[in-house]
A and B are shown apart, each in its own frame.
Chain A
Amino acid sequence: MEVFSRISEGNPVLNLSRLQLHGLDLDHVGEAQKKQIQQVYLTYNSLTLFPTSVCLLSNLEHLDLSNNSLKLVPDEITRLTSLKTLVAKNNHLDETSFPKHFGSMQIESLNMGGNRFREIPVQFLKLSKLQSLSLGGNRLKSIPAEIGKLSRLEMLYLGGNMISCIPPELANLSCLRYLVLCDNCIQSIPPQLNRLHALLSLSLHNNLLTFLPREILSLVHLQELSLRGNPLVVRFIKDMTYDPPSLLELAGRTIKSHNLPYLPRDLPANLCSYLDMASKCPNPKCAGVYFDSCVRHIKFVDFCGKFRLPLMHYLCSPECSSPCSSNPQSDAESEDEISVPVDRLQRVLLG
């Protein structure tokens, strides 16, 4: 009865929130009227089963089922060929709740915050038109590499999960503007994330980061960056642990630095692969390469003119000084922070 009274002629929006509904009966709604409805809000009701009658609304574009007790989304949802936005925050949904062919829908915005997802379902990763994906406040432990295939994704909200690492394939999201990874257990950021050229906002607060890769410096166009609540090193430290290189490594370095040619017919395959893995020392004045042996330097470096962040880069030996110094006076040996103007330091501290 109440439903009927809320459908007004020609109004594309059907607001049925907070009505203590246990189900939805649209039998009284004429076919013509069903076609006119474009948005349905069924938030804050008592739905334990998905209201399949909404699937008869052939022109439905926006469906919000937040704050109910839904466990399953049925096959019938795929009938909603015009559906662009699906919101179902605060339900009991997980990665097994969705039908097989959900992935072929035309959905552009999906918000499943506050549910019970332990992983991102395969079907979500097949939504080729997806621009916005929110899975905040779930139980995700990881992000699948296939996330990189959502080529139109602009917004990815994964805050408040249990994610411990980020796949480098995330960097394939060339349209990504807004990335939220706060309140997780992330220990490191893959350097490839500097390929996210469209990124405007990066939220990393409340994680387990102790350093950032120096590649993050290329994200200087970021408008928003949050880093609080990470065990970031706030003083310059020099990591003195240095394992001397093995004979294999020394030989490898000599071959690479002298550009000695080598072919599979000259060397066993494993040695060829080893030589191919040589990394160049980031110090531009050093022509050296390193394989396994490296010195870890954590250096306090200016970034975006506002922050001083501990960056990590590998150098081939303790003699290689860091090239990454925006203040030419700050040397690897210097632990002096007196040269930084007080108000600049305060702004960083207050960050």
Chain B
Amino acid sequence: MEQTELVKPETLDDLIKILHKIFEDDHVNIEEVQSIMEAYESNPQEWMKFAKFDQYRYTRNLVDEGNGKFNLMILCWGEGHGSSIHDHAESHCFMKLLQGQLKETLFEWPDRKSHGDMVQKSQRILLENQCAYINDSIGLHRVENVSHTECAASLHLYSPPFQQWHGDMHTGTPALHGSV
């Protein structure tokens, strides 16, 4: 009898090792990555050192450079911090909540006739340890920490790796995604 083994990453280092292994292949299963990321139970002691919060906006902090096919980052969201509506430049993006909650709003791609009104597709609140996935065929999205009292932190995997750094790598101004 065949049993599919879900290898549960016990630590963040475990997770990184498993992801490196998965991405050795050229074909990667989206559901597999999503499950693995979700299975890691966030332990702040393991990632606190990457989490540099900024007073004015959310930050990007590199965790692992990956193997050229992906990279891993932690995004730190202060109270009320949110992104603009953005696309993913033909990449796959996985987002796992390490702390707090984030609201994700999905939008349709605007067409020529839209005249500025972005059509909202759906909205959801992602809870701690949940992992969301998005790519350009799904649409555009805005991610926000709507809490006025709690900070949030999320672990992001980009494949191909998120490369277009505008400004400082560790507090990363995400100009790629149409900042502000």
Query: Are B118 and A349 interface neighbours, CB within 8 A?
Result: yes
Within 8 A of A (CB), among B76-94: 79-80, 82, 84-86
Q: Contact flags (1/0) for B10-51 with A, using CB distance below 8 Å?
A: 000000000000000000000000000000000000000000
Query: Are B114 and A349 interface neighbours, CB within 8 A?
Result: yes
Question: Which of B57, B82, B149, B178 meets A137, CB within 8 Å?
Answer: B149
Within 8 A of A (CB), among B123-171: 140, 146-149
- CA–CA, A59 and B46, complex, Å: 31
Whether A163 is near chain B, meaning CB under 8 Å from some CB there, is: no
Q: Looking at chain B's contact residues, is the secondary structure mostly helix, strand, loop, or mixed?
A: loop
- CA–CA, A134 and B151, complex, Å: 13
Q: Looking at chain A's contact residues, is the secondary structure mostly helix, strand, loop, or mixed?
A: loop
User: Which residues of the partner chain A approach B55 to less than 8 Å between Cβ atoms?
Assistant: 155, 177-178, 201
Total interface residues on A, CB under 8 Å, equals: 34
Residue in chain B with minimal CB distance to A138: B148
CB B134 to nearest CB in A, in angstroms, measures 15
Query: Are B84 and A350 interface neighbours, CB within 8 A?
Result: yes
Query: Are B79 and A350 interface neighbours, CB within 8 A?
Result: no
- CA–CA, A306 and B84, complex, Å: 13
Central interface residue in B56, B80, B86, B114, by most chain A CB within 10 Å: B80
- CA–CA, A348 and B178, complex, Å: 9
CB B13 to nearest CB in A, in angstroms, measures 25
- CA–CA, A347 and B175, complex, Å: 12
Central interface residue in B84, B117, B147, B149, by most chain A CB within 10 Å: B149
Residue in chain B with minimal CB distance to A201: B56
CB A307 to nearest CB in B, in angstroms, measures 8
Summed over the interface, the residue pairs from A and B with CB atoms below 8 Å come to a total of 73
User: Which residues of the partner chain B approach A205 to less than 8 Å between Cβ atoms?
Assistant: 82
Total interface residues on B, CB under 8 Å, equals: 22
Residue in chain B with minimal CB distance to A155: B55
CB A162 to nearest CB in B, in angstroms, measures 13
Query: Assuming A113-B148, A114-B149, A351-B180, is B86 touching A180 (CB within 8 A)?
Result: no
Query: Assuming A136-B79, A157-B79, A201-B56, is B140 touching A350 (CB within 8 A)?
Result: yes
Query: Are A113 and B149 interface neighbours, CB within 8 A?
Result: yes
- CA–CA, A219 and B117, complex, Å: 26
Query: Are B79 and A159 interface neighbours, CB within 8 A?
Result: yes
Query: Are A157 and B118 interface neighbours, CB within 8 A?
Result: no
Whether A234 is near chain B, meaning CB under 8 Å from some CB there, is: yes
Residue in chain B with minimal CB distance to A337: B115
Interface residues of B (CB under 8 A from A): 55-57, 79-80, 82, 84-86, 110, 114-118, 140, 146-149, 178, 180
| 24 CB < 8 A contacts A-B | A66-B149, A113-B79, A113-B148, A157-B80, A177-B55, A180-B80, A182-B80, A183-B146, A200-B56, A201-B55, A201-B57, A203-B80, A223-B57, A224-B56, A224-B180, A234-B116, A345-B116, A346-B110, A348-B116, A350-B84, A350-B86, A350-B178, A351-B178, A351-B180
Enumerate the 6 nearest inter-chain pairs by beta-carbon distance, A residue then B residue, closest first. A136-B148, A137-B148, A160-B148, A113-B149, A114-B149, A201-B56
